Amino acid sequence: MKNLRIVMAQQGFEIGDIFGNVQKIIQLAKQAFDEQQAEMVVFSELCLIGYPPEDLLLRPSLKNRVDQAIEQLLKADLPCAIVIGLPLFKEGQLFNGAMCINDQKIVHQYHKQCLPNYQVFDEKRYFEHGEQSSVFDFNGVSFSILICEDIWFDQPIAQAKELGAQCILALNASPFHLGRAAQRVEQVQNIAKQNAIPVLYVNGHYAQDELVFDGASFVVNQQGECVQTCVEFEDVMSAVDLAVEGNNLSIGETNQTSWLPVMESLHQALVLGLKSYVNKNGFPGIVLGLSGGIDSGLSLAIAVDALGADRVHAVMMPFAYTSEMSIADAKEQADLLGVKFDIVPIVDVFEASFKTLQPVLNLDEPGVTEQNLQARIRGLMLMAISNKTGSMVLTTGNKSEMAVGYATLYGDMCGGYNALKDVPKTLVFELSRFLNTIKPMIPSRVIERPPSAELAPDQKDEDSLPPYDILDAIIEHYVEHDLSADAICAKGFDKETVYWVCKQIDRNEYKRRQAAEGVRITPRGFGRDRRYPITHKWLPGD
């Protein structure tokens, strides 16, 4: 009997930075050999260029750069084998590929067979699909590489097994959403058991624009048991020992842990998404409008976790309808978290704007115009601070608001990134309460008082919107599950409410189209997941 040690590299890679990624791959392989006696290191899907590279894949120098990168890897004198994901060219066609390099030679190449072209994925825009599974021998064991989507279908793994594969190396760039880690394991358990073959499932750990890759890599043995897991939301180099005896291959059970509870994984995803966006785009920090409400309160807490208090600047911008309570709560939270805090009253700018507009508009009866004016003046102030300090404005609208357009374009929607973009209001509450159980982050009055935009006297969100538990349920049915309005009514919701919500979702596509990017945490966010026309006449009815 012999032992073969493979290290799964759950790591982050920079989009487009092919040569930086090469250096990282080399360094990690050396380290895995030195510290963990790795014989092979397996990386994640398209680690050479980062995932998703989008239209960078259409740049004409891609092939040259990939060829150079392969040269560098071959010359690097790696102490162990590596399996990497990369764009592969063959006869003028581009594939989502993988390659095993050993002893300064390319010992195997593979082309992804199943190309996802739904939800957030556009792989058929770029890649041709491979035609078959294949195997290669490494130290007497027969391996087959599969890439992400390949593992969700029967044919590629069955064919690999048929070709004599003893172990599947599954390279992934599988984006996070709530509950996704457990789903992946369950699906792989089924398919591994069915084909009686172990699977090493390696996922990346990083965030890219709206997508978060949570890692959560794992190993399933040929009995379909999950025998090893990698901690979510961390860089991990995880050693897997394959015990080989003739044709038999077994994997011992090692550090198997359970996945994070929902609230914790949600928090981690929001922190990672925000941190990556701010850092990778070179912002010194963020500035946000702290209203004394729960959305900005939670956003502040997340920003402090993501960047540290010294990179966060909170600005309270009171006006006539801002309650004393809001000012006090904002100050309390800023003090609690130790962030820079300014109070910038907007009354003078509002009055000047009002007077300036008076000759053109009849502003005698206050309405939406005046409310939006307040929100936009706040945006104006924050953007000026951003311009002068270089800090990115963090916008704080939640998914419920983004859905029905309860937000002011160029007002509270100003900002470079939105941690809460895909978080429904009910989940905003739940997460805020959860964070406070760990340590005090958000004053409890901010969480418990009825939500208000404070843009008019005694305004409450529920004057304009259905109660959030109902609103969020309807949004989930309509957006995530694609139910029709009638089908939602049939679930017992009030017809008028359902139709109102669905109509608002449809007609506010124009606002969302100009909204900041934000972390995707559900199976269907409002980003690249949901591609609706702005102009259309589809009725939500049946």
Site for a second copy in 7-26 (CB under 8 A): 14-17, 20
Q: Which helix (H) or strand (E) holds 3?
A: strand 2-10
Both structure tokens of 237: 């180099």
Based on CB atoms, which residue is closest to a second copy, 449 or 524? Answer: 524
- For a second copy, the binding residues in 213-272 under the rule CB under 8 A are none
Listed residue (458, 403, 468) closest to 432, CA to CA: 468
- SS3 of 444, please? helix
Listed residue (246, 195, 244, 259) closest to 223, CA to CA: 195
Measured between alpha carbons, how far is 149 from 381 in angstroms, rounded to an integer? 46
| 459 interacts with a second copy by CB under 8 A | no
Q: How far is the CB of 113 from a second copy (least distance, A)?
A: 15
Based on CB atoms, which residue is closest to a second copy, 448 or 482? Answer: 482
Which of 353, 391, 400, 426 is close enough to bind a second copy by CB under 8 A?
353
Q: State the alpha helices, DSSP H only, in 220-362.
A: 262-280, 294-307, 324-337, 347-357
DSSP label at residue 416: S
Q: How far is the CB of 442 from a second copy (least distance, A)?
A: 24
Q: How far is the CB of 396 from a second copy (least distance, A)?
A: 16
| 276 interacts with a second copy by CB under 8 A | yes
Based on CB atoms, which residue is closest to a second copy, 491 or 536? Answer: 536
Active site includes 148?
yes
- What's the distance, CA 282 to chain centroid? 19
Based on CB atoms, which residue is closest to a second copy, 441 or 483? Answer: 483
- For a second copy, the binding residues in 19-58 under the rule CB under 8 A are 20, 50, 52-56, 58
| 361 interacts with a second copy by CB under 8 A | yes
Both structure tokens of 157: 């793994």
- For a second copy, the binding residues in 464-503 under the rule CB under 8 A are 482-484, 487
Q: How far is the CB of 447 from a second copy (least distance, A)?
A: 28
- For a second copy, the binding residues in 280-309 under the rule CB under 8 A are 280-281
- For a second copy, the binding residues in 202-221 under the rule CB under 8 A are 208-209
What does the angle CA 164 – CA 165 – CA 167 come to, to the nearest 5 degrees? Answer: 155
Which of 111, 161, 275, 376 is close enough to bind a second copy by CB under 8 A?
376
Measured between alpha carbons, how far is 217 from 215 in angstroms, rounded to an integer? 5
Active site includes 162?
no
* Annotated active-site residue in 45, 123, 232, 454: 45
Which of 2, 90, 495, 513 is close enough to bind a second copy by CB under 8 A?
513
Which residue carries 């006006």 as its tokens? 319
Measured between alpha carbons, how far is 62 from 56 in angstroms, rounded to an integer? 8
Measured between alpha carbons, how far is 185 from 196 in angstroms, rounded to an integer? 15
Q: Phi and psi of 31, rounded to 5°?
A: -65, -40
- For a second copy, the binding residues in 309-348 under the rule CB under 8 A are 315, 342, 344-346, 348
- Torsion angle of the four alpha carbons 190, 192, 193, 197, in this order, in degrees rounded to the nearest 10: 180
x/- track of binding to a second copy for residues 517-536 (CB under 8 A): x------------xxxxxxx
Q: Please choose, out of 33-41, 162-170, 327-335, 373-381, the segment that lies near a second copy by the rule CB under 8 A.
A: 373-381
Q: Could you write out the DSSP letters of every residue in 324-378?
A: HHHHHHHHHHHHHHT-EEEE---HHHHHHHHHHHTTTS--SS--HHHHHHHHHHH
- SS3 of 228, please? strand
**Number of residues near a second copy (by CB under 8 A):** 87
| CA distances in angstroms from 239 to 32, 136, 159, 166, 389, listed in the order given | 9, 21, 27, 18, 45
Q: How far is the CB of 433 from a second copy (least distance, A)?
A: 31
Question: Which three-class secondary structure string do you get for 14-67?
Answer: CCCCHHHHHHHHHHHHHHHHHHHCCCEEECCCCCCCCCCCHHHHHCCCHHHHHH
Which of 380, 433, 500, 504 is close enough to bind a second copy by CB under 8 A?
380
Based on CB atoms, which residue is closest to a second copy, 337 or 381? Answer: 381
Based on CB atoms, which residue is closest to a second copy, 247 or 514? Answer: 514
Q: How far is the CB of 360 from a second copy (least distance, A)?
A: 5
* Annotated active-site residue in 47, 80, 114, 148: 148
| 385 interacts with a second copy by CB under 8 A | yes
| 362 interacts with a second copy by CB under 8 A | yes
Active site includes 45?
yes
Q: Decide if 25 contacts 12 (C-beta within 8 A).
A: no
Which of 293, 297, 379, 405 is close enough to bind a second copy by CB under 8 A?
379
Q: Please choose, out of 91-99, 430-438, 494-502, 510-518, the segment that lies near a second copy by the rule CB under 8 A.
A: 510-518
Based on CB atoms, which residue is closest to a second copy, 75 or 513? Answer: 513
Both structure tokens of 50: 């980062």
Q: How far is the CB of 33 from a second copy (least distance, A)?
A: 27
| 504 interacts with a second copy by CB under 8 A | no
| 2 interacts with a second copy by CB under 8 A | no
Q: How far is the CB of 347 from a second copy (least distance, A)?
A: 9
Q: If 0-12 CB within 10 Å is exposed, 13-18 middle and 19+ buried, where does residue 398 land? A: buried
Measured between alpha carbons, how far is 289 from 300 in angstroms, rounded to an integer? 9
Measured between alpha carbons, how far is 420 from 4 in angstroms, rounded to an integer? 44
- For a second copy, the binding residues in 67-126 under the rule CB under 8 A are 117-118, 122, 124-125
* Annotated active-site residue in 39, 47, 100, 112: 112
- For a second copy, the binding residues in 387-426 under the rule CB under 8 A are 387-389, 409-410, 414, 416
Residues classed as catalytic = 45, 112, 148
